[in-house]
Amino acid sequence: MATTKVGVYRKYHGPIPTDRSGRPLPKSEWSRKRPFRWAVRWFDENGKRYSKSFKARKEAERFAEEEQSEVRDGKASPPAGVSLMEFTEMYLGIRSDLAKRTREEHSRTLRFLQDRLGRCRPIGKITPIDARSFISWYRQRQRKGVPVSSATVNKILRECRRMFREAVDCHLIRSNPFEGIRQEKVAGTDWHYVTPSEYHQLLEVCPNLRWRGMICLAYCCGIRLGTALNLTWNDINFETEMLRVVRKRGEAGKSDWTPKDKALTDRNSLAQYHTR
Q: Is the pLDDT of residue 75 over 60?
A: no
Higher pLDDT, 159 or 78: 159
* Average pLDDT score over residue span 139-162: 90
pLDDT in tens, 160-203: 999 999 998 888 888 899 998 999 887 777 788 889 999 999 99
What's the pLDDT score for residue 79?
59
**pTM of the predicted model as reported, rounded to 2 decimal places:** 0.57
Order of strands across the sheet with 49-54? 7-12, 36-43, 49-54
Domain ranges of the chain: 7-72, 84-169, 196-269
What's the pLDDT score for residue 181?
93
Q: Is the pLDDT of residue 70 over 90?
A: no
* Average pLDDT score over residue span 60-88: 76
Beta-strand relationship, 236-237 and 49-54: unpaired
Say what percent of the chain tops pLDDT 70: 85
Q: Which residues contact 197 (CB under 8 A, 6 or more apart)?
A: none
Q: Is the pLDDT of residue 266 over 80?
A: no
Q: Is the pLDDT of residue 136 over 60?
A: yes
Distance from the Cα of residue 124 to its chain's centroid: 14
Rounded Cα–Cα distance for residues 31 and 8 (Å): 15
Q: Average pLDDT of the chain? A: 83
- Per-residue HEC secondary structure of 199-250 comes to HHHHHHCCCCHHHHHHHHHHHHHCCCHHHHHCCCHHHEECCCCEEECCCECC
pLDDT in tens, 106-134: 999 999 999 999 999 999 899 999 999 99
β-bridge partners, 42: 50
What's the pLDDT score for residue 188?
72
Q: Which residues contact 131 (CB under 8 A, 6 or more apart)?
A: 160, 177, 178, 181
Q: Is the pLDDT of residue 36 over 50?
A: yes
Are the CB atoms for 77 and 124 separated by under 8 Å? no
